């Protein structure tokens, strides 16, 4: 019997790189003239997979987000996996914004990926949702490479990673 090949489709942010980017952003914010003397903060809540940005007004909040996103890009953290919440008023006349870090493929996106693979109508290519990832199997490596290529061409709203290649 022919060996089956498989790979996993996942997504997520490297939390250590996020932490490094936040530290670099705070260092830059403390040195910037336009933020001098203002109540500005970036809080990284690792357990909740969340960033909390605090600034005196929405204009400064956008400037703070620009600094954070620039540092994230430099640290190779996928910006598409950061979902910004709405700016909300907070205590002390400040404005806060929560930014959620996407760890794992959301179930609706995973269903969309599985449906997309089935619509390709490749023989013997199977896909299944396993928690927050999608596993694709086939006896043909060429078919798996085609699946990867087609998925990269389509936008699913998150940065997808392909890994855990196996031969069973």
The full set of domains in the chain, from first to last, is 5-12+105-167 (3.30.70.860), 15-101 (3.30.70.990)
Residue 71 clears pLDDT 90, i.e. is over it? yes
Residue 116 clears pLDDT 70, i.e. is over it? yes
What distance in Å separates the CA atoms of residue 122 and residue 139, rounded to the nearest whole number?
Answer: 11
* 3 state SS of 45: strand
Residue 1 clears pLDDT 60, i.e. is over it? no
Mean pLDDT of the chain: 90
Q: Which residues contact 2 (CB under 8 A, 6 or more apart)?
A: 139
Q: Please compute the mean of the pLDDT values over residues 145-157 and round it to a whole number.
A: 90
Model pLDDT, residue 8: 92
Q: Please compute the mean of the pLDDT values over residues 86-108 and round it to a whole number.
A: 89
pTM across the whole model = 0.81
What distance in Å separates the CA atoms of residue 8 and residue 1, rounded to the nearest whole number?
Answer: 23
Q: Please compute the mean of the pLDDT values over residues 59-69 and round it to a whole number.
A: 92
Model pLDDT, residue 163: 87
Confidence at 2, pLDDT banded by 50, 70, 90:
low
Residue 121 clears pLDDT 90, i.e. is over it? no
Encode pLDDT of 45-54 as tens digits.
999 999 999 9
What distance in Å separates the CA atoms of residue 40 and residue 53, rounded to the nearest whole number?
Answer: 8
Confidence at 166, pLDDT banded by 50, 70, 90:
confident
Residue 3 and residue 168 in contact, taking contact as beta carbons nearer than 8 Å: yes
């Amino acid at each position: 019997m022919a060996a089956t090949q498989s790979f996993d489709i996942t997504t997520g942010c490297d939390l250590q790189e996020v932490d490094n980017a936040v530290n670099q952003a705070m260092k830059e914010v403390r040195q910037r003239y336009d933020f001098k003397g203002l109540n500005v903060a970036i809080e990284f809540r690792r357990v909740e997979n969340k960033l909390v940005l605090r600034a005196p007004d929405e204009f400064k909040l956008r400037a703070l987000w620009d600094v954070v996103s620039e540092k994230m890009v430099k640290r190779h953290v996928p910006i598409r996996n950061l979902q910004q919440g709405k700016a909300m008023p907070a205590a002390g006349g400040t404005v806060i914004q929560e930014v959620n870090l996407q760890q794992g493929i959301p179930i609706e996106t995973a269903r969309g990926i599985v449906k997309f693979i089935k619509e390709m109508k490749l023989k013997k290519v199977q896909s299944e949702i396993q928690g927050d990832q999608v596993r694709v199997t086939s006896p043909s490596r060429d078919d798996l490479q085609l699946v990867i290529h087609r998925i990269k061409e389509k936008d699913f709203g998150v940065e997808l990673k392909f890994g855990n290649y196996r031969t069973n």
